[in-house]
Structure 1
Amino acid sequence: MVRLLLSIKAELENVTDLQPGSDSFEYFFKIQCSSCHEVHSKLVSLNRKTILDMPTTKSTKTNFLWRWWEPLLILDCRGLEFIDFDPTGTWRCNGIDSGTEFEVDIGEEEWTDYDEKAKLPVSVMRIKGKWSKA
């Protein structure tokens, strides 16, 4: 079993504390088979609330056993490798000066808005994921 750490980086303008929008956030990944190295043609998604039956293993249920970790999360995986991360979905962040909470919809790789309290533009751009062994 391999433990992989997903780290993210993004350009944040006048916001801080970028994080998934809810406990049921759908993470999207590109994966490949550890044995034949075939890359799956579509993105796969996981969320920490989904439990799947695993009849070919000693344990009967799994949710990929992830844990929140700095900087983002760690996944335990068997028989596959996570090779890319797609940040699509609803995230949250806070205005750096005002504390205003923003709901960030990352669909086009960037989000912009205006913080009325601080009278400043805010943005989240160029979110990138990087995998490493945990």
Structure 2
Amino acid sequence: MLALTLTAELNGVTDLRSDDTEANPFYYSFRVQCTSCRETHPNWVNISRFESHEQSGSRGEANFVWRCKNCKREHSASVRNPPATYPHSSPPQRRNIIEFDCRGLEFTEFKSEGDWLATGLESNTKFSGIDLSEGEWFDYDEKAGEEVSIKDVKWEIRRA
């Protein structure tokens, strides 16, 4: 089991979460490594909890299936639960955002691509289209009359 964790400073917003619906799936982008031969896939791979791929040998389905080009073994990863929200806290605390059941592979690095959502802490304003690829985000909450931000975004992949 691997978990993607997040630590971030939320100012004026709470409940940060990926914009992830069946109609508009969120793709988590990772570097992946074979645990058998330690070969790292040369490209970023994308995983959606709404996609299923057949595993060879009638072993069922997984959200991500990969055959290592070096050792020729097939590996898989499946999303365990829907993604969690990241609440406002002071000081910021590390939280599991999403967990994966990985078989024969490890995720070694995460790249934030795609849109995130948040809610105004006091105003309940809905913020969408949040881009965390640069590690920070700034906006203005009209209802609250103040700037809101997400800063010091740190992603980590840990054993769950």
TM-score (norm 2): 0.74
Q: Is the 8 A contact 1:87 1:127 kept in 2?
A: no
Mapped pair 1:11 → 2:9: yes
Worse-superposed segment, 124-133 or 62-71: 62-71
2:117 pairs with 1:119: no
For residues 65 and 96 of structure 1, the distance between their equivalents in structure 2, rounded to whole angstroms, comes to 29
SS at match of 1:25: coil
Letter in 2 for 1:20: S
Check conservation: 2:111, 2:133, Cα contact below 8 A: no
Length-normalised TM-score, structure 1: 0.87
* Residues 45 and 54 of structure 1, relative CA distance in 2, 3 Å threshold: same
Contact 2:79–2:98 (CA under 8 A) maintained in structure 1: no
Unaligned 5+ segments in structure 2 are 64-77, 85-94
| Partner secondary structure for residue 50 of structure 2 | coil
* Partner SS state of residue 56, structure 2: coil
The CA RMSD measured in Å over matched residues stands at: 1.7
1:128 has 2:154 as partner: yes
Q: Deviation at 1:123? A: 1.2
How many pairs align?
131
Q: Tell me the equivalent position of 1:88.
A: 113
Tell me which amino acid in the other structure corresponds to 1:44.
V
The percent of aligned pairs where both chains have the same amino acid is 37
1:1-134 superposed matches below 5 A: 3-23=1-21, 24-56=25-57, 58-59=59-60, 61-63=61-63, 64-68=78-82, 71-103=96-128, 104-134=130-160
Give 1 or 2: higher strand fraction.
1
CA distance in 2, matches of 1:57, 1:66: 20
Instruction: Give distance in 2, aligned partners of 1:7 and 1:33.
Output: 21
